[in-house]
Amino acid sequence: METQHAITCDALVVGGGIAGLESALDLADQGFQVAIVEKDATIGGKMIRLSKVFPTLDCSSCITTPKMASAAHHENIRILTYCDLQTLDRVDGRLQAEVVQRPRYVDPDACIGCRQCEYNCPVWVPDAEQGGFTARKAIAIPFSNAIPQLAVIDTDHCTLCGQCASICPTDAVDYFQKPEPLTIRAETAVIATGFGTTAIDPKYGSGTLPNVIGALEMERLLAPHGPYQRVLRPSDGKEPESVAFIQCAGSRDKALGVPYCSRVCCMYAIKQAMLLSGALPLADITIYYMDIRAFGKGHEQFYQNAKAMGIEFVKAKVAHIGAGDDGAVTLRYEDQEGGEGVTHRDHDLAVLSLGILPQWQPDGVCPVSVDDDLFIQCPSPKIAPARTDMDGVFVAGVAAGPKDIVDSIAEAGAAASEAAQYLGARQAQRSGKAA
Ligand SMILES: Cc1cc2nc3c(=O)[nH]c(=O)nc-3n(C[C@H](O)[C@H](O)[C@H](O)COP(=O)(O)OP(=O)(O)OC[C@H]3O[C@@H](n4cnc5c(N)ncnc54)[C@H](O)[C@@H]3O)c2cc1C
């Protein structure tokens, strides 16, 4: 399938989150050769980092890990992590991607994932995988079920003390590793680059209030393998007695830069509130919302269950969060049903439903169009939701717009099916020409 710096395959999948993995597996199971290009050091996307998933409350990593392992062990799938996509365009009738393999400073063929380097490294740094709530070493495997199990040196913090190199049983540490260019030629591609979130707005205390966190950080606090193995308040490690979830703290608000609805926040906030009430049965939990959007299968019942559990729902747009006493945060909001007008309430911890943004922009990289909200454009969303305006290039998951896991997987299946049809047509065309 490949030479040292060039790979030829049937399908290129950009992004190794749940949508990209699903498309890759669907195509590979049909016998097509697939290359997945992932920018992170591990595949799995956001889903591997979630606690449990709505509306079933299944353990997220228990569902994602087998998918990751299936992709990694599939004979028709080649996974390239820690790679930057430079360009993706059509060259001589085929798609051609120019990719740069970033240096891990660890030889991937020699590293056996034993973590001796990590245990021996003297430098501790904040662990972004755990929301920054705990620390990891300057050389580390991203997390215990990361795929591949390869260590990466964090060059921002490494002091070049040499302790990792001296302990490594396979001499895998290579401080002189260089970025390596790689060309991937494919007939078709699926873009599954997913999402990031908006930053915390200054009116919600960005950077100044440690007890105001984003929902992805709350996912880590709730995860069984999270930073503390229980929910503690970041500023002082206290168990919060009262927690506020603030909806539309980055979406449906032009002033915050995102006019559209992020679609998953109502349900994940309800999920987090339910999990929290299990973890902290005595805590008061309040969701501040504009309106609850529970449109998916089983979602309305999920919402009703949360109300029955005693979670309080306050119809209000929170205008401001300030510092209260003893690390508390003070919310200023107008209660739209209670008739109290503008009012204030203190909580030990506030969790923001931040806006969902496209994680990748094709600008200058690939001639595929984006829509007004900068997600990949689908010219025929009703009849061909996975098709883009670039011949042979399809889209899956949140790269095309905010959506939950169920819809991401369904769309990934559609993208794989369209890509397989496209590959079949190309093969027929070529054998017709040859005959
Ligand atoms: C706080 C929170 C909780 C949630 N909880 C739930 C839930 O309980 N249930 C549910 O159904 N949904 C939930 N969701 C939504 C869910 O996370 C998404 O539906 C799902 O992760 C989408 O998968 P994806 O593969 O499209 O994107 P992602 O998970 O974002 O994966 C995209 C992948 O592409 C990679 N990538 C990006 N750019 C590039 C590039 N240029 N080159 C190569 N690779 C690239 C990324 O590194 C990433 O690995 C939640 C969302 C949030 C924010």
Buried b (16+ CB within 10 A) or exposed e, 52-64: bbbbeeeebbebb
pLDDT at 2: 46
pTM of the model: 0.97
- Evaluate: CB of 46 within 6 angstroms of ligand 1: yes
d(CA 29, CA 85): 25
Peptide bond into 148 cis (omega under 30): yes
- Evaluate: CB of 16 within 6 angstroms of ligand 1: yes
Which segments of 52-100 does DSSP mark as H helices, in order? 60-73
DSSP states of 331-359: EEEEETTT--EEEEEEESEEEE-PPEEES
Q: State the distance from the centre of ligand 1 to the C-alpha of 403, rounded, in angstroms.
A: 9
Domains and CATH numbers, the chain: 1-102+179-194+359-435 (3.50.50.60), 104-177 (3.30.70.20), 198-356 (3.50.50.60)
Which helix (DSSP H) or strand (DSSP E) does residue 419 occupy? Answer: helix 405-434
If 0-12 CB within 10 Å is exposed, 13-18 middle and 19+ buried, where does residue 74 land?
Answer: middle
Peptide bond into 55 cis (omega under 30): yes
Instruction: Report the nearest-CA residue for atom 24 of ligand 1.
Output: 194
The ligand 1 atom nearest the CA atom of 271: 8
Which helix (DSSP H) or strand (DSSP E) does residue 184 occupy? Answer: strand 180-186
Those residues with Cβ within 8 angstroms of residue 310's Cβ, 6 or more apart along the chain or in another chain = 277, 285
Could you read off the pLDDT tens digit of each residue along the chain, which spans 435 residues?
444 589 999 999 999 999 999 999 999 999 999 999 999 999 999 999 999 999 999 999 999 999 999 999 999 999 999 999 999 999 999 999 999 999 999 999 999 999 999 999 999 999 999 999 999 999 999 999 999 999 999 999 999 999 999 999 999 999 999 999 999 999 999 999 999 999 999 999 987 999 999 999 999 999 998 999 899 999 999 999 999 999 999 999 988 879 999 999 999 999 999 999 999 999 999 999 999 999 999 999 999 999 999 999 999 999 999 999 999 999 999 988 877 789 999 999 999 999 999 999 999 999 999 999 999 999 999 999 999 999 999 999 999 999 999 999 999 999 999 999 999 999 898 888 776
Q: State the distance from the centre of ligand 1 to the C-alpha of 47, rounded, in angstroms.
A: 6
Which helix (DSSP H) or strand (DSSP E) does residue 137 occupy? Answer: strand 135-137
- Evaluate: CB of 47 within 6 angstroms of ligand 1: yes
Q: State the distance from the centre of ligand 1 to the C-alpha of 17, rounded, in angstroms.
A: 6
